[in-house]
């Protein structure tokens, strides 16, 4: 089980787990609950460049479409094929098996990332 | 100064929904459950077992009096006076233009008594249309023989839908059928009974494409009835279902949703509802409008695609490089496993089998015109 206090968050409901210069990115349980059952995800390809704040993918539920914003800038080094094959992982394990992409971080992290307490305040 | 919008209303069953952990959404001015656990699980439960929906947001009107049947022939699109007592009928409230003000189900409860169930979001519009119809009917000479009461606030309405619905309702403690038995009750018919001593109106109607019932009960008994049906159906797999599942179920069943497939800008024939209009009636609201509607107006079609990426309401539909229409509802069909959509398209692009494309946020997804409904239960 992921320690949620070790993650950083965006106001667009992504979470980030940093390990050296590799950031694992997913969407939070709050976002997954709001979307409903996720049935389709479109993620950026490996080796593609992403820019903090830009849309880099889509997450569709039966009811709606959510955009995935890159929470930081860098190069995608890995895509979670398991979640592409079985999008329900986003709902079932948003912080674990439902991770979406890994990004090699380039440059500084955005200054507006939230810690767990600030994210909980945002979604309270 | 700006007006503060009225807070959304809550159902008499709101405490049940909160206890069940529902997520809520605003729908037609009501704060209603959108899901309890999973849209997909709730959808599949209705197709395979049963689901229980709170649809207390819907509006109930009683139309009564010696003139009620003739009045409804005038106020609604269908021929209501020929309905038999005990039957239900899908009908439309039309504007003079022929546009659709609301779609309703009419239940004949007596020679001079009808129950009309309308959409929550159109409650005021239906009141207005009924008032206008009364004022223009027969030169407004008849008023004593007609009474219209909006009883929405007195009742809760729940829908038990799915192949296990009959068995569950039959075995719900406290439910006594005093009218036609459930085994004899036809589709689009109603019967009466009691629950815990209170009157219970049981209609074999629904909005899911499955067999099932809609149950009208006084507000004070609604929570106990809800609990009793869930408990009685637990071993059969009944689950509480929210509006998200209701929407994908009705979409698969090709049923229109007001505000999506139906509006004041759409005449019935465009939405495939020409059969609902009894055009041979001498006089009814909207008669001139429906008879003069242009023949080249867009028409409602079903679209199916491959893959998992669904067209959504508002997305353009193209024939070659020409935009020929727009999607009104769309989703990845939980039952069929591929995307389905309803769309209004130009008549020239509406033939079954026509290959079109949907502009899904910049990506063209092939789609084929298909007959509605997408899903039909085994009879």
Q: Which of B23, B309, B331 faces A62 most closely, judged by CB atoms?
A: B331
Whether A84 and chain B come into contact, CB under 8 Å, resolves to no
Name every chain B residue with its beta carbon within 8 A of the beta carbon of A60: 308-310, 332
CATH code for residues B9-55+154-252: 3.30.1360.120
Map out the domains of chain B as residue ranges.
9-55+154-252, 299-379
Which pair of tokens denotes residue B352?
A: 């079954």
Give the whole-angstrom CA distance, residue B357 versus residue B374: 18
Measured over the CA atoms of residue B33, residue B36, residue B39 and residue B44, the dihedral's sign is negative
Q: Nearest residue of B to residue A66 by CA position?
A: B361
Average pLDDT over residues B241-263: 98
Average pLDDT over residues B283-290: 95
First-to-final CA distance of chain B: 57
The structure tokens 């895509």 sit at A79
Give the count of beta carbons closer than 10 Å to the beta carbon of residue A5: 9
Which pair of tokens denotes residue A72?
A: 């930081």
Does B40 contact A65 at a Cβ distance shorter than 8 Å?
Answer: no
Q: Is A121 helix (H, G, I), strand (E, B) or coil?
A: helix
Res. B268: pLDDT tops 60: yes
pLDDT on residue B131: 94
Res. B10: pLDDT tops 90: yes
Best residue in B251, B310, B315, B336 to probe A by mutation, most A CBs within 10 Å? B310
Percent over 90 (pLDDT), chain B: 93
Of A61, A11, A15, A56, whose CA–CA distance to A38 is shortest? Answer: A61
Q: Is B1 helix (H, G, I), strand (E, B) or coil?
A: coil
pLDDT on residue B293: 81
Spell out where B6-142 has E strands: 9-10, 23-27, 30-35, 50-54, 59-64, 88-94, 100-110, 113-118
Give the whole-angstrom CA distance, residue B16 versus residue B34: 14
Largest Cα separation within chain B, whole Å, is: 63
pLDDT on residue B142: 61
Does A36 contact B35 at a Cβ distance shorter than 8 Å?
Answer: yes
Q: How far is A20 from chain B (nearest CA, A)?
A: 35
Does A37 contact B38 at a Cβ distance shorter than 8 Å?
Answer: yes
Name every chain B residue with its beta carbon within 8 A of the beta carbon of A65: 312, 361
- Residues B321 and B132 sit within 8 Å (Cβ to Cβ): no
Give the whole-angstrom CA distance, residue B292 versus residue B278: 15
Does B40 contact A62 at a Cβ distance shorter than 8 Å?
Answer: yes
- Beta strands B9-10; B30-35: pairing state: parallel
Ramachandran category for residue A99: left, alpha or beta (phi over 0 → left; psi -120 to 50 → alpha)? beta
CA separation, residue B270 to residues B265, B274, B297, B323, B346 (Å): 10, 8, 7, 18, 10
- Residues B145 and B66 sit within 8 Å (Cβ to Cβ): yes
On whether ipTM exceeds 0.85, the answer is no
Q: Is A22 helix (H, G, I), strand (E, B) or coil?
A: strand
Of B17, B108, B55, B28, whose CA–CA distance to B216 is shortest? Answer: B55
Map out the domains of chain A as residue ranges.
4-107
Q: Which residues does B contribute to its contact with A (CB < 8 Å)?
A: 23, 34-35, 38-41, 43, 244, 247-248, 308-310, 312, 331-332, 334, 361
Q: Which helix (H) or strand (E) holds B155?
A: strand B155-161
Q: Which of B247, B332, B361 faces A39 most closely, judged by CB atoms?
A: B332
CATH code for residues A4-107: 2.40.50.100
Whether A49 and chain B come into contact, CB under 8 Å, resolves to no
Of A40, A80, A44, whose CA–CA distance to A61 is shortest? Answer: A40
Res. B13: pLDDT tops 80: yes
pLDDT on residue B206: 97
Give the whole-angstrom CA distance, residue B296 versus residue B266: 13
pLDDT on residue B1: 47
Q: How far is A18 from chain B (nearest CA, A)?
A: 31
- One DSSP character per residue, B115-136 reads EEEE-GGGHHHHHHHHHHHHHH
Q: For the stretch A82-102, what's the b/e string if a residue is b when 16 or more beta carbons lie within 10 angstroms of its beta carbon?
A: ebeeebebbbebbbeebbbbb
Give the whole-angstrom CA distance, residue B118 versus residue B106: 9
User: B299-379 domain in CATH 2.60.120.380?
Assistant: no
Q: Each residue of B156-208: pLDDT tens digit? A: 999 999 999 999 999 999 999 999 999 999 999 999 999 999 999 999 999 99
Spell out where A38-118 has E strands: 38-42, 49-50, 55-61, 65-69, 74-79, 101-105
Q: Each residue of A18-56: pLDDT tens digit? A: 999 999 999 999 999 999 999 999 999 999 999 999 999
Best residue in B332, B335, B360, B362 to probe A by mutation, most A CBs within 10 Å? B332
List strands edge to edge, sheet with B212-218.
B175-177, B190-195, B198-203, B212-218, B155-161, B50-54, B238-241
pTM of the complete model? 0.93
The residues pairing with A15 across neighbouring beta strands, listed in sequence order, are A9, A26
Q: How far is B249 from chain A (nearest CA, A)?
A: 11
- Residues B122 and B59 sit within 8 Å (Cβ to Cβ): yes
């Amino acid at each position: 089980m992921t320690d949620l206090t070790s993650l950083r968050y965006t106001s667009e409901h992504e979470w980030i787990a940093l390990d050296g210069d590799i950031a694992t990115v997913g969407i939070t349980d709050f976002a997954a609950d709001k979307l409903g059952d996720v049935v389709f995800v479109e993620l950026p390809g490996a080796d593609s460049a992403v820019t903090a704040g830009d849309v880099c993918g889509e997450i569709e539920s039966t009811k709606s479409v959510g955009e995935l914003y890159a929470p930081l800038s860098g190069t995608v080094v890995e895509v979670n094929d398991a979640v592409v094959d079985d999008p329900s992982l986003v709902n079932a394990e948003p912080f674990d098996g439902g991770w979406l992409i890994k990004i090699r971080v380039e440059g500084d992290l955005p200054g507006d990332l939230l810690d767990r307490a600030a994210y909980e305040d945002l979604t309270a | 100064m700006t007006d503060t919008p009225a807070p959304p209303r809550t159902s008499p069953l709101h405490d049940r929904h909160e206890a069940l952990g529902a997520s809520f959404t605003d729908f037609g001015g009501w704060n209603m459950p959108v899901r309890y656990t999973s849209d997909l699980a709730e959808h599949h439960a209705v197709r395979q077992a049963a689901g229980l929906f709170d649809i207390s947001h819907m509006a109930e009107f009683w139309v009564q009096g010696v003139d009620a049947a003739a009045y409804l022939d005038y106020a609604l699109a269908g021929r209501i006076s020929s309905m038999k007592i005990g039957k239900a009928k899908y009908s439309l409230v039309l504007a003079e233009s022929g546009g659709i003000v609301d779609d309703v189900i009419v239940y004949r409860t007596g020679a001079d008594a009808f129950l009309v169930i309308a959409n929550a979001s159109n409650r005021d519009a239906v009141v207005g249309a009924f008032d206008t119809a009364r004022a223009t009917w027969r030169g407004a000479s008849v008023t004593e023989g007609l009474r219209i009461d909006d009883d929405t606030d007195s009742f809760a309405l729940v829908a038990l839908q799915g192949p296990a619905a009959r068995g569950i309702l039959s075995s719900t403690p406290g439910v006594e059928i005093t009218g036609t038995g459930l085994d004899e009750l036809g589709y689009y018919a109603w019967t009466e009974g009691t629950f815990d001593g209170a009157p219970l109106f049981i209609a074999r109607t629904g909005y899911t494409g499955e067999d099932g019932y809609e149950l009208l009960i006084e507000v004070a008994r609604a929570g106990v009835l809800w609990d009793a049906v869930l408990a009685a159906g637990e071993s059969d797999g009944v689950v509480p279902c929210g509006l998200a599942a209701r929407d994908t179920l009705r979409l698969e069943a090709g049923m229109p949703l007001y505000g999506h497939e139906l509006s004041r800008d759409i005449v019935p024939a465009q939405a495939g509802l020409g059969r609902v209009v009894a055009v041979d009636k001498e006089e009814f609201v909207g008669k001139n409008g429906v008879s003069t509607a242009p023949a080249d107006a867009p028409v409602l079609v079903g679209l199916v695609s491959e893959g998992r990426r669904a067209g959504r309401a508002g997305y353009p539909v193209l024939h070659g490089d020409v935009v020929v229409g727009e999607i009104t509802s769309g989703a990845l069909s939980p039952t069929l496993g591929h995307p389905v959509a309803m769309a209004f398209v130009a008549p020239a692009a509406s033939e079954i089998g026509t290959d079109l494309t949907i502009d899904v946020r910049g990506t063209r997804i092939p789609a084929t015109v298909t007959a509605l409904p997408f899903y039909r239960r085994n009879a």
